[in-house]
Chain A
Amino acid sequence: MQADHSNPNHSNQRAFAVALVVCVVCSALVIAAAVLLRPVQQANRLLERQTNVLAAAGLLEPGKSVEALSKQLDSRLVDLASGEFVEVEDPEHFDARKAARDPTQSIALTPEQDIAQIKRRANYARVYLVWNKAGDLKTIILPVHGYGLWSQLYGFLALESDGNTVVGLSFYEQAETPGLGGKVDDPRWKRLWPGKRVYDEQWRPAIQLVKGAVNRKSPEASHQVDALSGATLTTRGVEDLLRFWLGPDGFGKFLAKMRKGGN
């Protein structure tokens, strides 16, 4: 199109003016939508997180609202380096993913440490505790994540108060191959987990995913879960990420303290 300076539509000032007005109006529209809808979106995210935590701990009950059920979740921040709780006003405000990207709130992992392939680990983590009516600890729910085949898998591992026996494992965010690695959130596979023991006698992470079916007579059977068929790399990712988060760079120190009844 040739510039026609006699036509006011084609002068440079006019082009700038129109572009400026369009940008200002559009920005205002976008800002308004983002600000006005933010509370609804945040509520969605909190509800989703609570649903995932409840699902991992096997506490979801059909017909009961997540808001009511999540009252039994006691969320705490843990300093992973010391294994101690950190006192904060509202642990729900802690954004683990943001913290893991921030050099002041996270540590870089050496390749030897980084078996879960997460590169950086946040200094703090939000865990959830569930207490029974008598006031004894019933379940500990830990956030875990690591790389599978295509994606970071994010999930929760729920352990009994001994810090060893699995209550449930569930992944709420993953982009593994549908039908193969994507079966990490298949209910039938998840049913294999409860009752497994994640540590051996020396309290080293011992969970294993084995090809074929687990031999129930083997002494190792209590540490073993069937691998996902046709998804070797996703399975390896799940095993590695559990070993990382149960190990000394993950929740190892925290769980050791919980076992001794400390904290």
Chain B
Amino acid sequence: MIFAAKPGWMSRQARDALLGPLFDRNPITHYVLGICIALAVTASLQTTLIMCMAVTVVLCGSNTIISAMRHQIPGSVRIIVQVTVIASLVIVVDQFIKAYAFELSKSLSVFVGLIITNCIILGRVEAFAMKNPPWLSFLDGLGNGLGYSLVLIIVATIRELLGSGTLLGYTVLPSAYEGGWYVPNGMLLLPPSAFFIIGLLIWASRSVRPGKK
């Protein structure tokens, strides 16, 4: 069914749905969406990776499901239906994380549950999945998930490396507290530092491609 979607499974349109959100239409640097989660979870790379996976799975799932149902959903209740589907997917993903990545689920705490309110997901469902076939919507979800992950991973790498001197928990810059030479910058562990880093990333990406608004 999905593969029989009309525009061909890797047409130009499909490539654009997948690759566009990575750079040109990146949900964070272009639309500035989903920032609160980006601030909260990026103090360490490991929690960020789990968060990125969770967001990507929910994006792909909700886009595909809503797209498959799009002709059945009455306009008057479409937001309710969309949020119900998104919320259910988020709860299922949260349960899986609690079961199979228990240690990380503690540091993610409420933020997995808050994916429900992430504007990127409802935004993609409403703006894309309601108008496009499932395969394209799936690619759009994947593209946005990866685009979101790309930015979060850059932010988390900077924050964990300079804030704790580690990457994925392994010591890269031996910290002065444990006898090394690097004095970790504690500010990078606090949420406001993510604001600065994301701000600089948005500036950088818009300077490289000034034509895009």
Chain A residues packing against B (C-beta within 8 Å): 1, 3, 9-12, 14-15, 18-19, 22-23, 26-27, 29-30, 33-34, 37, 40-41, 44-45, 48, 173, 177-180, 188
Contacts and interface: CB of A to CB of B under 8 A. Distances in A.
B73 interface: yes
Contact of A26 (B77, B88, B190): B88
A163 B84 CA distance: 54
A86 B108 CA distance: 36
Interface in B25-51: 43
10 contacts: A19-B77, A22-B81, A22-B84, A26-B85, A33-B95, A33-B96, A34-B95, A37-B99, A41-B99, A48-B102
B91 A33 contact: yes
Contact of A1 (B43, B75, B95, B100): B75
A53 B99 CA distance: 21
B99 A19 contact: no
Nearest to A17: B74
Contacts of B91: 30, 33-34
Interface residues of B, number: 28
A29 B102 contact: no
Contacts of B74: 9-11, 14-15, 18
Contact of A29 (B88, B99, B177, B184): B88
B171 to A, nearest CB: 14
A30 B73 contact: no
A23 B92 CA distance: 15
Nearest to B186: A179
A178 B88 contact: no
B81 A40 contact: no
A106 to B, nearest CB: 25
B102 A41 contact: yes
Contacts of A9: 71-75
Given A30-B88, A40-B99, A178 B189 contact: yes
Given A18-B73, A23-B84, A41-B99, 4 more contacts: A26-B84, A26-B85, A41-B95, A180-B186
Contacts of A177: 190
A144 to B, nearest CB: 19
A150 to B, nearest CB: 12
A23 B81 CA distance: 8
A15 B95 contact: no
